[in-house]
Structure 1
Amino acid sequence: MAVLGLQVVFSLVMFTFLHKLAPYFSVGRWLLSKRLSRYLHPTNDELKQLSSGNQPGKTTGQTSKAKRRAEQRRNAASAQADKSESFTVPRNLPIQLDQALVEDIDLVPLQFYSEYTWLMDFSLCSLVIYVLTEIYFIITPHRLEFNLSILWCLLAVAFCVRVLASQAWIYLRTQEGGERILLVTFTFFFLVFAMGVLIVGDNVIEFGIEEGYKNFSTSATKFLEQQGMTSHGPVSFLTFKISLAFFGMLVGTLLTFPGLRLAKLHVDTLKYSQDRKITQLLLQINYLLPLLLILLWVKPVGRDLLCGKTFSKVKPVFYEDQFEGFRLLLVVVMCGLRILLMPKFMQAHLNLAHEKIESIKKESGRITNIELQKTIARVFFYLCVVAIQYVAPVLLILFLTFLLKTLGGLSWVSLFGETAVSFFTPTSKPGMKLPKLGGENSTLGTIMDSAAEFTSTLGDIRGIFTPVWYRGILNFFLWWVLTVWFSSTSLGVMYYSQNL
């Protein structure tokens, strides 16, 4: 507790909140329940009445609450009750699907429900801890403590990668359809793409990988020499770039289907909001913001243009330090906008049930009742899968941004100038020397000497991984996630726009 101080208190409070209050409140459930409406599939009795030419009775405003609640959940109850009964009906039946608000209890049996709620709740706790820790480090006049919010951000990134990997593995195991072929194709495409990007120097795309590698290699060599080991340094720069390209390929594999899913949601949401100009404007901004962020890392387009290096007589929009803060804040704004628009995208997915039934009506022939009901119920059943594919890349980008800011030694307030940075950057107090509590041969003195030596070694190891190193690595991965997600989304938008 003395080493980490109030950060442990923040973590314990958030852990207690996550453990005790999660069964009663979940931000994931809150985003999906009571604000979305789903389509209910017709029961067997209704299908029989329609097939015989009779119109089924409709519920009215005077229907009792108990009956209405049963009506809302019939797609789950009737599927079990009528599981053994199978018959065929004409495809062109005049079916009118009823709608019902999504309730908390409706989400529980959905696929990937537990993964979705855990990811959202843990991310919220990590966000709160990160904000409190940032405030704490602004107030405290020292930086000797380990920033515990880094651990929470790393865990959030790990959970995002894990849930995306589990979904990608399902697509990879699929025997039917073209999901496996599509995934393998995009995997090799992103491998070649990553190699091409890494060939480009830092003077074009400013990751800072070369500077970070040189800093890391020099520090690691000095540390090994201090330990009495002879070394020519870590792996070569070419091997290092090949490793980055391999990890970039894996990231591209994980974000292929989330990007294609976002493209489908974007096209459908635009279609359903044609009469709402403000919503359409927000949707287009939401789609194009990643492209703007990608271009901000391209030095001739981003830093050189906005900082006045391209044209000598043009007044710069930002100074060098302000540009870094502007880029970070714009990433956070993009993530916030995508979370804000999430209910609209999820509603566009639920509306697929109505589109599917209208498509079936245009076909000739007959269809079984079970197949018809599954076609409609399947849309709602995969709601949490779609929600994860939408929100997991957003959270991945958000926490990579937090890691870049903290580990890279950047500042949120650099956008407001040097005065704001100096005000929010605490000055370090002079180091305090521990009193000599024992003689040279005493046990306590030996323990204190060992502790001092261990602290010195830890400081040397920490000196290997400098902010320059972290900036190079995290800049690349943040830019790469944005690029991969936007690329797959753009390809999907072109595909789905042609099939409207």
Structure 2
Amino acid sequence: MALLGTQLVVTLVMISVIQKLGPHYSFAKWLLCSTGLVRYLYPTNDELRQLANIPKEKPKNKKNGKGVSNGKLSTDLFHINRSLDVRLETAKVTYLDVIHLRYYNEYQWLVDFSVYAGIIYVITEVYHIWFPIRDEVNLSIVWCSLVVLFALKLLTSLTVQYFKGEESVGERSTCIVMAFVYLLLAMMVLIVDENTLELGLESAYTSFNQSASTFLSKQGLSSSGPASKIFIKFCIAVWCSIMGAILTFPGMRIAKMHWDLLRYFHESKLKQILLNFTFALPFLLVILWIKPVTKDYFTVRIFSGRTEPLMTEYAFEIARILAILLTVVIKICLMPWYLQAYLDMAYHRTEEQKKEAGRITNVEFQKKVEAVFYYLCVVALQYLAPLIMCLFLTCMYKTLSEFQWGWLLKNPIIEELNVQPKKYGSEPIDDFFLTLESLKSVFAANVLKGVFSFATWWSCFVYFATTSVGLVYQSYFSVV
């Protein structure tokens, strides 16, 4: 295989760009600091004393900032009424505010690395329109796989936090329960007939089993197949269960922000329609894999006045991929709205507290306001990581399935490449490359198509399922 080619040059150039421009130009920083986000400031002790008519004490430490003593919340304790009428001041979110927040470095790395990987993928795809791959490794797939792994790692690390503290018993139980629920759902999905739910796993397993048996026979090993279908499906179901567990709380967080946005835009029906439409888009993506509902309607049925279906099967595959890409772009564009809805929780908390009886300490009140902004980067990761994972799984699905960009309503013209067999210098090297080519035939395009088709569909399904469960919870169990 030719490793030294245009793709490697593009990769090396992008690595240089990351090193030189990465610290100065960051899309992640722009999303948080240049989209008009506003945070709420907690009141200082002096302001609380004045509102509560508490005599002022002599300060023991020199104040360095508003409500801050030596960089921390003041330890001067006194009690105030929960119903105290406190008006929170606001300030725009700046880079100096977010750089010290928890998970900011992880958030910036994931978003910026995803941007760089996306640029490499687009350049590679455009280049391959005129110069198809022959004996060359597609390095853009390596970048895409790294992005997916980074997103999974961050989502897993956020979920693991619920299993470390003793105060997260409810969250821990929720993750475990949802893991078993998604395990059951995955097992149910895996037994659905391919004529109903077109995931491609059956044909992928058949092709993989036959190719693997042939490969093992050439190596002098007798085998009817590397693994049984039941074992492979059980492993897939376990992976689906883990995906459902780590996306449970991100989905519920997104649903909470969506619910708050609907209440905020209650006077604007157009914005409510836009929010509800974008919220339902993952469901529309899920049904694109249900053949009787969508694919047969566009690729089999012939409407009156026409002599052929609306689309070919190949065009429908491309349209399905484009639909996922468009959905992710729309949701990223609406991200500032959702993050602002989260930051507004500080205001709503103080307003709800005014309806309560009793007393609260000044530090507890200040922490209640400041904690919202403290977890801003965590919420941004919960919003973006599932979308990034869906996006790059779709890119891998498109490329590894050997789909070509072209006219959506026409079959692509794929020219066969007459490549002469290579002559290697010695017999051991010749045997090595022959073995490598044989191993490559085991993971053929139809095998990878089935695997990544299911991975893409399941990521969209879990995203929709978790956000829907969260919205149901907000509708019936949250206090308005």
What is the TM-score normalised by the length of structure 1? 0.89
Distance in 2, matches of 1:331 and 1:202, equals 21
Q: CA contact under 8 A between 2:213 and 2:224: conserved in structure 1?
A: yes
Q: CA contact under 8 A between 1:324 and 1:414: conserved in structure 2?
A: no
Residue identity in the other structure for 1:473: V
**1:439 aligned residue:** none
Distance in 1, matches of 2:20 and 2:160, equals 32
Where do 1:26-65 residues align within 5 Å? 26-34=26-34, 35-52=36-53
Residue identity in the other structure for 2:341: A
Q: CA deviation at 1:285?
A: 1.8
1:105 to 79, 92, 96: 96
Where do 1:162-181 residues align within 5 Å? 162-177=153-168, 178-181=170-173
**2:368 aligned residue:** 375
Q: Which digits, 9 at most, give the CA deviation of each residue in 1:427-468, with x for residues without a partner? A: 455324668xxxxxxxxx7x4443333222211110000111
**1:328 aligned residue:** 321
Where do 1:438-477 residues align within 5 Å? 447-477=425-455
352-361 vs 450-459, which moves further = 450-459
Classify the secondary structure of the residue corresponding to 2:293: coil
Q: Which digits, 9 at most, give the CA deviation of each residue in 1:312-366, with x for residues without a partner? A: 9986332211110110000000000111000100000000000000011111111
232-241 vs 388-397, which moves further = 232-241
Residue identity in the other structure for 1:17: V
**1:229 aligned residue:** 221
- Call closer, same or farther: CA 1:81–1:378 in 2, change over 3 Å: closer
Residue identity in the other structure for 1:108: I
Q: CA contact under 8 A between 1:171 and 1:180: conserved in structure 2?
A: yes
**1:62 aligned residue:** none
Q: CA contact under 8 A between 2:83 and 2:357: conserved in structure 1?
A: yes
Residue identity in the other structure for 1:284: N
Q: Which digits, 9 at most, give the CA deviation of each residue in 1:237-286, with x for residues without a partner? A: 11111111111111111111111111111111122223334432321121
Q: CA contact under 8 A between 1:172 and 1:180: conserved in structure 2?
A: yes
Distance in 1, matches of 2:467 and 2:24, equals 35
Classify the secondary structure of the residue corresponding to 1:74: coil
258-267 vs 3-12, which moves further = 3-12
Q: CA contact under 8 A between 1:37 and 1:101: conserved in structure 2?
A: yes
Residue identity in the other structure for 2:20: K
Distance in 2, matches of 1:296 and 1:79, equals 56
Distance in 2, matches of 1:28 and 1:271, equals 28
Distance in 2, matches of 1:410 and 1:342, equals 30
Q: CA contact under 8 A between 1:39 and 1:353: conserved in structure 2?
A: yes
Aligned-residue CA RMSD (Å): 2.2
Classify the secondary structure of the residue corresponding to 1:302: helix
Distance in 2, matches of 1:434 and 1:490, equals 55
Correspondence 1:85 to 2:63:
no
Distance in 2, matches of 1:325 and 1:82, equals 54
Q: CA contact under 8 A between 1:300 and 1:310: conserved in structure 2?
A: no
Structure 2 stretches of 5 or more lacking a match?
56-62
Correspondence 1:19 to 2:19:
yes
Residue identity in the other structure for 2:14: M
Q: Which digits, 9 at most, give the CA deviation of each residue in 1:50-77, with x for residues without a partner? A: 11189xxxxxxxxxxxxxxx99x736x4
Structure 1 stretches of 5 or more lacking a match?
55-69, 436-444
**1:490 aligned residue:** 468
- Call closer, same or farther: CA 1:310–1:174 in 2, change over 3 Å: farther
Distance in 1, matches of 2:175 and 2:418, equals 56
Correspondence 1:136 to 2:127:
yes
Q: CA deviation at 1:110?
A: 0.8
Classify the secondary structure of the residue corresponding to 1:367: strand
Q: CA deviation at 1:142?
A: 4.5
Where do 1:411-430 residues align within 5 Å? 411-418=404-411, 421-422=412-413, 427=415, 429-430=417-418
Classify the secondary structure of the residue corresponding to 1:25: coil
344-353 vs 15-24, which moves further = 15-24
Distance in 2, matches of 1:312 and 1:226, equals 54
Q: CA deviation at 1:188?
A: 0.6
**1:59 aligned residue:** none
Q: CA contact under 8 A between 1:207 and 1:471: conserved in structure 2?
A: no
Q: CA contact under 8 A between 1:183 and 1:253: conserved in structure 2?
A: yes
**2:110 aligned residue:** 119
Q: CA contact under 8 A between 2:2 and 2:136: conserved in structure 1?
A: no
Classify the secondary structure of the residue corresponding to 2:91: strand
Classify the secondary structure of the residue corresponding to 1:412: coil
**2:8 aligned residue:** 8
What is the TM-score normalised by the length of structure 2? 0.92
Residue identity in the other structure for 1:465: F
Distance in 1, matches of 2:207 and 2:270, equals 48
Distance in 1, matches of 2:247 and 2:329, equals 19
Q: CA contact under 8 A between 1:137 and 1:143: conserved in structure 2?
A: no
Correspondence 1:256 to 2:248:
yes
Q: CA contact under 8 A between 1:198 and 1:241: conserved in structure 2?
A: yes
What is the number of equivalent residue pairs in this alignment?
468
Q: Which digits, 9 at most, give the CA deviation of each residue in 1:163-209, with x for residues without a partner? A: 00000101223322510111111011001110011011211110111
Q: CA deviation at 1:141?
A: 4.8
Q: Which digits, 9 at most, give the CA deviation of each residue in 1:480-499, with x for residues without a partner? A: 11111111111111111233
Classify the secondary structure of the residue corresponding to 1:379: helix
